[in-house]
Amino acid sequence: MAMLAACGGSDKAADATTATTTAEVTTPAIPEATAPAAAPAADTAATATPAAGVTLASLTGDPVKGEKVFGQCRTCHVVEKGVNRVGPSLWGVVGRQAGSIEGFKYSPANKNSGLTWTDEQLFTYLEAPQQVIKGTYMAFAGLKNPQDRADVIAYLKTKA
């Protein structure tokens, strides 16, 4: 009952119960209410700062973990040679020219990007595809975690 009152419930019985313990419930509730609001901003800043300086060279990709992360990509991509889905096959993607699989309908932006899918280019692209190739058909928002990107690249390198 005291929990309902602390969460904004208006039950009279809960109000009566809370009245006897108002000092106990109210005093801890104020610091708890203000602490979470401040904590995410600090956590976000702490996370964003190191990630901004993280490079692929500073990470070691794990292909086993990368295969698990790649599960997010399987809706549109497979790693079997010659098998396209909504997205092109990613078999042999590392080192390949962007937009180069014959018969696959790429966006003009992707086909004409002039990019080669090096490890570093994939690392950048996988973070925010639409920012790297404006106009790409790829609707995926990206992998924000640098380690996830390194792991996926390590996995893709095993598929060629």
Q: What's this model's pTM, rounded to 2 decimal places? A: 0.67
Domain end marker among 53, 71, 90 = 53
Total number of domains constituting the chain: 2
Question: For tokens 């996926």, what's the residue?
Answer: 152
Answer yes or no: do 88 and 132 share one domain: yes
Answer yes or no: do 69 and 37 share one domain: no
Answer yes or no: do 76 and 130 share one domain: yes
Q: Which domain holds residue 41?
A: 2-53
pLDDT tens for the 160 residues of the chain, in order: 333 333 333 344 434 443 443 334 333 333 333 333 333 333 333 323 335 678 988 899 999 999 999 999 999 999 999 999 999 999 999 999 999 999 999 999 999 999 999 999 999 999 999 999 999 999 999 999 999 999 999 999 999 9
Give 25-69 as a DSSP string. HHHHHHHHHHHHHHHHHHHHHHHHHHHHH--GGG----HHHHHHH
